[in-house]
Amino acid sequence: MIKNYFILIMIILMGCDKEVAKIDKSKVVEKKQPLPLVQKEKNLAKSEIPNSRKIASKRSENKNIKKRKSVRQPTKKLKPTTSPISERVKAPDFLLSDLEGNIFDFSAFSGQVVMLTFWGTWCGPCRKEIPDFIKLYDEYNDDGLEIIGVAIQSGTAENIKRFSDYYKINYPILTDIDGYESYKAFNDYGRVTGVGTRAVPTTFLIDRDGYIVKTYRGARPGKVFYNDLKPYL
């Protein structure tokens, strides 16, 4: 009897040990194995790629923006040119108004050597030529030289007159009658000579017979005009 009781106690104790072992195993937290260094670097690289791409794309966009802002379209300057007329071209006639409102017919200057200059009050090179034209007119008007300035897109006659008075211009200045007659005259001269009407000042030297003998696109010093017109005086 005692022996059987002892065996029963041993069986109970052995069962308790197994249950404890089971509980201990369930409470054990499985430790994660540390990632290899290479794997860590791969994961890190993957997380950084989107950001680095964004930064790189932003930098490239900024560079492109800066480039677009810094790009300047080159401005093409017209070089002054003097063109002798190979064929005799008759100077086109026109009607324009002087600054007092009187109508001038260009044919009235027949028999004189004419320097016909198309210019504008807003044009810097045009203003530089004015003192030389004043001197030429003073010196050679009695010898048959006539200088005529046709003001292109320069406002009203009153505005042009104020400009003329300020610069003490002594030769006739003509302008529109009631429209764009001055530009039409400019266009006619550019067409018959082939120099076009892209720039002012543009000056035409016309002999006593009314033929255009030279054209000047761009400003010139007075001595150039003097040397060219002297044979025709």
DSSP for 88-157 reads EEEPPP-EEEETTS-EEEGGGGTTSEEEEEEE-TT-HHHHHHHHHHHHHHHHHTTTTEEEEEEE-S---H
Q: What is the pTM of this model?
A: 0.66
Does 135 reside within a domain? yes
Does 114 reside within a domain? yes
Determine the distance from the C-alpha atom of residue 166 to the mean position of all C-alpha atoms in its chain, rounded to a whole number: 32
Nearest to 117 by CA among 185, 164, 163, 209: 185
CATH number for position 186: 3.40.30.10
How big is the chain, counted in residues?
A: 233
Range of 213's domain? 81-232
DSSP reduced 3-state for 50:
helix
- Helices 222-229, 124-140: axis angle to 10 degrees equals 40
pLDDT tens, per residue, the chain with 233 residues:
555 555 555 554 454 444 434 444 444 444 445 444 434 434 433 333 234 344 344 444 444 433 333 333 333 455 666 667 667 899 999 999 999 999 999 999 999 999 999 999 999 999 999 999 999 999 999 999 999 999 999 999 999 999 999 999 999 999 999 989 999 999 999 999 998 888 999 999 999 999 999 999 999 999 999 999 999 99
Structural domain total, the chain: 1
Does 180 reside within a domain? yes
